Chains A and B, each alone.
Chain A
Amino acid sequence: MRRVLRPLPAALLVLALIGIWELYVDLKGNSFSLILPPPHAVAKSLYTDRALLWSSFLVTAEEVLLGILVATAFGALLAVAIHFSPTLRRAIYPLLVASQAVPVAVLAPVLAFWLGFGLLPKLVVVAIVSFFSIVVTTTAGLAAVDPDLIKLMRTFDASRLTTFRHVEMPSALPSVFTGAKIAVAVSVIGAVFAEYTGSNSGLGYVILVSQPQLLVARGVAAVVILSLFAIALFSLLALAERLALPWAYRTPEYRAQSGPVVLERPA
Chain B
Amino acid sequence: MVEAPPKEPRELKAADGVVVELVSRSFSTKRGRIEALAGMSLHADAHEVVAVVGPSGCGKTTLLELVCGLQAPDSGTVRAAPAALMPQRDLLLPWLSAIDNAGLALRARGVSRAQARKTAAPWLGRFGLERFEHTRPAELSGGMRQRVSFLRTLLAGKPVLALDEPFAALDAITRQEMQGWLSHVLESEPRTVILVTHDVEEAVMLGDRVVVMSPRPGRTVSEIEVTLARPRKRTDSAVVELRERALAALGVDT
Closest to A166 in B: B107
Contact partners of A245 in chain B: CB under 8 A: 95
Quick one: which of B101-138 are within 8 Å of A by CB? Answer: 104-105, 107-110, 136-138
Closest to A250 in B: B138
* B104 pairs with A156, CB closer than 8 A: yes
Contact partners of B85 in chain A: CB under 8 A: 151-152, 155
The total number of A-B Cβ pairs within 8 Å is 67
Q: What's the interface size class on A, roughly?
A: 20 to 34
Asked if A59 lies at the interface with its beta carbon under 8 angstroms from chain B, I say no
Quick one: which of A142-180 are within 8 Å of B by CB? Answer: 146, 148-149, 151-158, 162-163, 166-167, 170-171
Known: A157-B108, A166-B107. A152 touches B139 (CB 8 A): no
A166 contacts which of B84, B108, B137, B138 (Cβ < 8 Å)? Answer: B108
Per the CB 8 Å criterion, the residue count for chain B at the interface is: 27
Instruction: Please give the distance in Å from A84's CB to the nearest CB on chain B.
Output: 18
Instruction: Please give the distance in Å from A255's CB to the nearest CB on chain B.
Output: 11
Contact partners of B65 in chain A: CB under 8 A: 151
* B94 pairs with A251, CB closer than 8 A: yes
**Interface centre among B94, B104, B162, by most A CB within 10 Å?**
B94
* B138 pairs with A155, CB closer than 8 A: no
Quick one: which of B80-111 are within 8 Å of A by CB? Answer: 83-85, 87-89, 91, 93-95, 104-105, 107-110
* A153 pairs with B108, CB closer than 8 A: yes
Asked if A114 lies at the interface with its beta carbon under 8 angstroms from chain B, I say no
Quick one: which of A238-264 are within 8 Å of B by CB? Answer: 245, 247-248, 250-251, 253-254
B108 contacts which of A146, A158, A171, A248 (Cβ < 8 Å)? Answer: A158
* B156 pairs with A155, CB closer than 8 A: yes
Asked if B70 lies at the interface with its beta carbon under 8 angstroms from chain A, I say yes
* B94 pairs with A250, CB closer than 8 A: yes
* B109 pairs with A156, CB closer than 8 A: yes
* A170 pairs with B89, CB closer than 8 A: no
Contact partners of A250 in chain B: CB under 8 A: 94, 136, 138-139
* B84 pairs with A247, CB closer than 8 A: no
Contact partners of B69 in chain A: CB under 8 A: 155
* B108 pairs with A156, CB closer than 8 A: yes
Instruction: Please give the distance in Å from B61's CB to the nearest CB on chain A.
Output: 9
Contact partners of A251 in chain B: CB under 8 A: 94, 137-138
Q: Which 10 A-B pairs have the closest CB atoms?
A: A158-B108, A250-B138, A156-B105, A156-B108, A155-B85, A247-B95, A251-B94, A155-B68, A247-B94, A155-B84
Give 13 new A-B contacts, CB below 8 A, not counting A148-B89, A155-B70, A248-B95.
Answer: A149-B91, A151-B68, A155-B156, A155-B158, A156-B105, A156-B109, A156-B156, A163-B108, A171-B95, A245-B95, A251-B137, A251-B138, A254-B94
**12 A-B pairs, CB-CB below 8 angstroms?**
A148-B87, A151-B85, A154-B68, A156-B156, A158-B108, A163-B108, A166-B108, A245-B95, A247-B94, A248-B95, A250-B139, A251-B138
Interface residues of B (CB under 8 A from A): 65, 68-70, 83-85, 87-89, 91, 93-95, 104-105, 107-110, 136-139, 156, 158, 162
Interface residues of A (CB under 8 A from B): 146, 148-149, 151-158, 162-163, 166-167, 170-171, 245, 247-248, 250-251, 253-254
